[in-house]
A and B are shown apart, each in its own frame.
Chain A
Amino acid sequence: MAPISTLHYLVVAAALFVLGVIGVLTRRNVVIVLMSIELILNAVNLNLVAFSRIWGLHGQVFAIFVITDAAAEAAVGLGILIAFFRNKETVNVDEIDLLKW
């Protein structure tokens, strides 16, 4: 079999990214939408680390910053979810339409 190149890792990351996009666009449960966003951020991380194999360690440092952002995003997103659930008693994305009218 062919040796594993950078392109292999990029293809795995692209597959994860597309899976995350599908999750964000099609699911109705807010928790699973947030998890899909985590999948997308992880795909970006895999890309960064794969490129750090070619161009030096800067990619790994950026991957750590992306992880920090993901932690902040998860904390704020889940806080919003709890506040929303307290008001509307549902976790359905379609019900989040207060700003629409």
Chain B
Amino acid sequence: MAPVATTFFFYFLSALTVLSGVLVITRKNPVHSALALIMSLLGQAALYLMLYAPFVAGVQIILYAGGIMVLFLFVIMLVNIEKSQKEDQFNKQWLVGLAAAIALGALFVFVYVKGRGLFPDRAIQMPEQSNTQQVALLLYGNYMFTFEIASLLLLVAIIGAVVMAKKRI
């Protein structure tokens, strides 16, 4: 299917994503930050759809917006946020941090302006209907070993999280 109003959707979704990102790092209440982060993640999932990656978009919504953010919200409710909201929200070296981040952003701009020709505009024609199938073929074919390593990593993370969060073992 031919894409409709690509330009409008791209600018709308990227504005949504970036503005929600700004909200994440400026809000005082961590719950508001988490909700803004969910907005940002959903905008990004829509950008993945625009890039013909429906499987990654689905994983993004189910795993990130559904799983990880619920974990974040649970932990925010476990820790005491009333006290931390009364304190100063930014640390003492915030000016240096901001300057370093802006220098990093200037580096990105420099690289993208200088290396404009390095990113070719040709887009390969991707099969939309069989995207999930293609990803699965790569995942269980080429990247089989990496896939197993990832499952081991998740097991280690589960055990680590339980060990650290438990009061006494």
Hey, which bits of chain A sit against chain B, CB under 8 A?
1-12, 14-23, 25-29, 31-32, 34-36, 38-39, 42, 45-46, 49-50, 52-58, 60-61, 63-65, 67-76, 78-83, 85-86, 89-94
Contacts and interface: CB of A to CB of B under 8 A. Distances in A.
Given A28-B88, A64-B139, A49 B48 contact: yes
Nearest to B120: A54
A82 B94 contact: no
A4 B10 contact: yes
B154 A6 contact: no
Interface residues of B, number: 89
Contacts of B92: 94
12 contacts: A10-B112, A12-B14, A12-B17, A14-B108, A18-B101, A19-B25, A46-B44, A57-B126, A60-B53, A70-B64, A75-B160, A90-B84
Contacts, number: 244
Contacts of B119: 5-7, 10, 54
B21 A16 contact: yes
B21 A57 contact: no
A21 B163 CA distance: 29
A76 B30 CA distance: 19
Contacts of A94: 91-92
Contacts of A65: 143, 146, 150
Interface in B132-150: 134-135, 138-139, 142-143, 146, 150
Given A25-B94, A72-B156, A78-B161, A60 B135 contact: yes
Contacts of A4: 6-7, 10, 50
Given A68-B150, A83-B165, A8 B91 contact: no
Given A14-B105, A46-B44, A57-B135, A26 B97 contact: yes
